[in-house]
Amino acid sequence: MTSLIQATDATLSREPVDLVLTSGERPSTPTQTVLIELGDRSYPIVIGQGLLGKANTYATLPPAASAFVVTNTMVESLYADALRADLASRYAKVHCVVLPDGEAHKTWQTLNLIFDALLQHGCDRNTVLFALGGGVVGDMTGFAAASFMRGVPFVQVPTTLLAQVDSSVGGKTGINHPLGKNMIGAFHQPLLVVCDLDTLDTLPARELSAGLAEVIKYGPIYDMDFMAWLESHIDALRACDRVALAHAVRCSCEIKAAVVGADEREAGLRAILNFGHTFGHAIESGMGYGVWLHGEGVGAGMLMAAELSRRLGLVDAAFCARLRALVARAGLPVRAPVLDANDNAGRYLELMRVDKKAQAGEIRFVLIDGPGKAVLRTAPDALVREVVNTCCAPA
Amino acid sequence: MTSLIQATDATLSREPVDLVLTSGERPSTPTQTVLIELGDRSYPIVIGQGLLGKANTYATLPPAASAFVVTNTMVESLYADALRADLASRYAKVHCVVLPDGEAHKTWQTLNLIFDALLQHGCDRNTVLFALGGGVVGDMTGFAAASFMRGVPFVQVPTTLLAQVDSSVGGKTGINHPLGKNMIGAFHQPLLVVCDLDTLDTLPARELSAGLAEVIKYGPIYDMDFMAWLESHIDALRACDRVALAHAVRCSCEIKAAVVGADEREAGLRAILNFGHTFGHAIESGMGYGVWLHGEGVGAGMLMAAELSRRLGLVDAAFCARLRALVARAGLPVRAPVLDANDNAGRYLELMRVDKKAQAGEIRFVLIDGPGKAVLRTAPDALVREVVNTCCAPA
């Protein structure tokens, strides 16, 4: 596999970062750039502090008459003014639409608010959309950009850890359907991704933990050295240490970029990024979107996938315990929820069969084939039922 | 400009076809194929008689567990059984969803009926969608295919002349928004297009005429020899003569393919295909979708664009009269409707400013820059007002 990442800065070595934190002292980190190489759809991810409030963050964007900021009620009050001020120096008109907050609103109805506002403001094919918020805002803005007039440019300004490490790489955009998550969408690459680490200060601890689930997954599927680094720095990450966050975001983006670069349209390899997601989506959908956060479903889902890997003889119990300990230290639930008191395993199976990775009703699990390596395969229903029963059992 | 068309058949010369029709006799035409060259998204357009009812029409499609036919209430009763029978020999499951008929239903609500059915039937990423119907069914099925699970394959089986000559080439898909036509959509190429000329026998005369508008446009913008051929064969076309129809469909697809091949994403040249559409969209939108057929709007819109070209000194009055005569002989309205009794020209301008081709509120018209050549340019509002006043005037 060719690496599709280009380090544009000498600070971009993947060497572990050692941190010595003194109480009250907050180490700072220089701005770093990861270039996602996708031919004429290549784009940079800029990672650093204080990026909101610097107009020259957007200096490389093509000129246009108008910018259109999409955000949600929560993020709007915190960061919309700063972004609008940054953009005002570059665009004659800066419009803004504020969506309701949360996964439950990742629907066509909410998406239509974006289309309504774009048309009411007379936006055209050159208007640049800016997604200011978490994964929900990013996914919906990206899909709106993919579909409005059959495609307009957009920029991601992710303000959650989850969005910074996950949604910002890969070009996946979309909305949920009552019968399945992310069932309607498009592949549409942004022009630029701006990860301002300072925005994570205002992120609720529960959402920071949810973001860590998507960071942790890169260890088991791809890079056990990164997993070891996470085990040493999980507390620093939860404390929003900038140097640790910068390293975690950069490594996550680099690993994801390497995988996505080799398989942009998810024909094969890219599916390994869904480690924990098959079970996780069932949890999210079964509980009702928004009850469990996406990252929480992935956290518990990774442990279920690891347990299934173990029962298939692919990893040992020690690996499962190690992953479970890290997930717990990240502040994530380690026990999966009961979705149906009468036939819980049956309900999980039913929900997983409508997963996008399923083919002709056959569930394809992302499993760990020895630490640091993932594999896509099916499993007997009976074994999956055992895993569900084990992982949903009371402690 | 490189030609992106490959004739796969010796019958594909662009020489005019001479017809001598004897009453009651219907000449037949051999099946022809136009290959649309778009790299790994290339696909064939098959044009002929009796294609519905031949299972081997679909022999080149990749294997999949299920096929999913999208059609409308009108077409379903005529051709759905034949298509389902053709597909049953190739796919284990053939599902079908029947949409309400007409442009007024080219909405998100109708599109969602497709998504609902796809998910209810457990369709997956390999399911092949078949659009059986006119342009509305084709555009919505194409957008559903572009968006379902972020992209599944689809096949066009157009049953109207408009869809055969226009929607089947170029990969444009989408739905309308209350504030504008085709405002939400995607570029998504089909695997195959099957144009069965026999289906045009059941097409109402008004819709056949509407389809001829999109055939006629290729003359003024690209090929005056084709315009001369149309002037000789317009009656044969309206009588559904197979040899004439095959020639008209093939030439239209070839010209469109040459233009689209040079500019797939509509950065420049491709926009000339919208000759008559800027005024036409205003007519459709101003009258309420479905009151005027798309082709009727384009027919009157071409005459308005020609009149604007004349007033800008690009063509002479004789050219305008010649185009007007052909449009009239095709059975299309030559007078544009009054959209607003108080300020008709103002209403046209207002509607045209939200057209997708507009940039920062400036309308870009496709004008005729001498017969056979189109150009994109703006025009003074005062001149556009004169054109609207002239073209909407009572005879």
Please name the member of B65, B150, B180 whose beta carbon is closest to the beta carbon of A172.
B150
Distance (Å) from the alpha carbon of B383 to chain A's nearest alpha carbon:
23
For B29-38, b/e burial (b = at least 16 CB within 10 A) is bebbbbbbeb
Shortest Cα distance, chain A CAs vs residue B374, angstroms: 22
Task: Mark yes or no for CB contact B126/A359 under 8 Å.
Answer: yes
pLDDT at A40: 86
For A136, A251, A373, the CA distances from A299, given in Å and listed in that order, are 18, 19, 18
CA nearest to B114 within chain A:
A184
Write the pLDDT tens digit of every residue in A233-246: 999 999 999 999 99
Cβ neighbours for A7, distance < 8 A, ≥ 6 positions apart: A13, A34
Task: Measure CB to CB from residue B360 to each of A124, A146, A179 and give the nearest one.
Answer: A124
Q: Does A120 sit within 8 Å of B179, measured CB to CB? A: yes
Do B38 and B154 belong to one domain? yes
Of A203, A234, A258, which closes a domain? Answer: A203
The answer to whether B268 contacts chain A (CB < 8 Å) is no
Query: What does the alpha-carbon distance between residue B231 and residue B216 come to, in Å, rounded to a whole number?
Result: 9
pLDDT tens for chain B, 395 residues long, are 333 444 333 333 444 444 444 444 555 789 999 999 888 889 999 999 999 988 888 988 988 889 999 999 999 999 999 999 999 989 999 999 999 998 889 999 999 999 999 999 999 999 999 999 999 999 999 999 999 999 999 999 999 999 999 877 889 999 999 888 889 999 999 999 999 999 999 999 999 999 999 999 999 999 999 999 999 999 999 999 999 999 999 999 999 998 887 766 666 788 899 999 999 999 998 998 779 998 999 999 999 999 999 999 999 999 999 999 999 999 999 999 999 999 999 999 999 997 766 676 789 999 999 999 999 999 999 999 999 999 997 76
Q: Does position A113 have pLDDT exceeding 70, yes or no?
A: yes
Say whether residue A150 is in contact with chain B using an 8 A CB cutoff: yes
Instruction: Indicate whether A148 belongs to any domain.
Output: yes
Contacts of B108 in chain A (CB under 8 A): 108, 112
Phi-psi region of B390 (alpha: psi -120 to 50; beta: other; left: phi over 0): alpha
Q: What is the CATH number of the domain that holds A278?
A: 1.20.1090.10
Among A175, A203, A231, the domain boundary falls at A203
Catalytic (active site) residue B121: no
Same domain? For A175 and A253 the reply is no
* pLDDT in the model for residue B19: 45
The residue in chain A having the minimum alpha-carbon distance to the alpha carbon of residue B145 is A184
Domains in chain A, number: 2
Of B203, B233, B254, the one marking the end of a domain is B203
Q: Are the Cβ atoms of A183 and B360 closer than 8 angstroms?
A: no
Nearest CA in chain A to B267: A125
Q: Which residue has the higher pLDDT, A5 or A168?
A: A168
Instruction: Kindly state whether B66 is in contact with chain A, defined as any CB-CB distance less than 8 angstroms.
Output: yes
Q: Is residue A18 part of a domain?
A: no
Nearest to A361 among B122, B183, B361 (CB): B122
Q: What is the CATH number of the domain that holds B170?
A: 3.40.50.1970
Task: Say which residue the tokens 């774009």 belong to.
Answer: A118
Inter-chain touch A179–B120, beta carbons under 8 Å: yes
A151 contact residues in B (CB cutoff 8 A):
186-187, 265
Kindly list the distances between the CA atom of residue B323 and the CA atoms of A43, A374, B218, in Å, as whole numbers in the listed order.
48, 64, 12
For residue A119, give the nearest of B116, B148, B177 by CB distance: B177
User: Is A258 in the same domain as A388?
Assistant: yes
Strands (E), B242-307: none
The beta-carbon neighbor of A108 closest among B112, B119, B353 is B112
- 3-class DSSP state of A359: strand
- The Cα–Cα gap between A216 and A326 comes to 8
Q: Are A126 and A274 found together in one domain?
A: no
Q: Are A244 and A137 in a shared domain?
A: no
In degrees rounded to 5, what are phi and psi of residue B59?
A: -65, -25
- How far from A166 is each of A252, B99, B203, CA to CA, in Å? 8, 37, 50
Asked if B157 and B267 sit in the same domain, the reply is no
pLDDT band at A47 (very low <50, low <70, confident <90, very high): very high
Judge if B199 and B310 occupy the same domain: no
With 60 as the cut, is the pLDDT of residue A218 above it?
yes
Residue of B72, B176, B182, B274 marked catalytic: B274
CA A317 to chain centre: 28
Determine, yes or no, domain membership for A10. no
Closest C-alpha to A311, from A390, A392, A393: A390
**Predicted ipTM of the assembly:** 0.83
Structure-block tokens of residue B152:
């599944």
CB contact under 8 A, B172 and A150: yes
> In this structure, is residue B221 part of a structural domain?
no
Same-domain check for residues A271 and A177:
no
Instruction: Tell me which of B10 and A221 has the higher pLDDT.
Output: A221
> Does residue A82 sit at the B interface (CB-CB below 8 Å)?
no
Q: Which residues of A are known to be catalytic?
A: 150, 172, 214, 256, 266, 270, 274, 277, 281, 294
Whether residue A35 lies inside any domain: the answer is yes
Residue B311 lies in a domain: yes
Q: Are residues B35 and B173 in the same domain?
A: yes
Whether A104 and A232 map to the same domain: the answer is no
For the entire predicted model, the pTM comes to: 0.85
B164 and B301 in one domain? no
In a domain, residue B231? The reply is no
Residues of B whose CB is below 8 A from A149: 183, 185, 356
- For residue B275, the enclosing domain spans 262-391
pLDDT, position A357: 67
Q: Within a domain: residue B236?
A: no
B272 and B387 in a common domain? yes
Q: How far apart are CA A180 and CA B123, in angstroms?
A: 12
Q: What is the mean pLDDT of residues A321-346?
A: 97
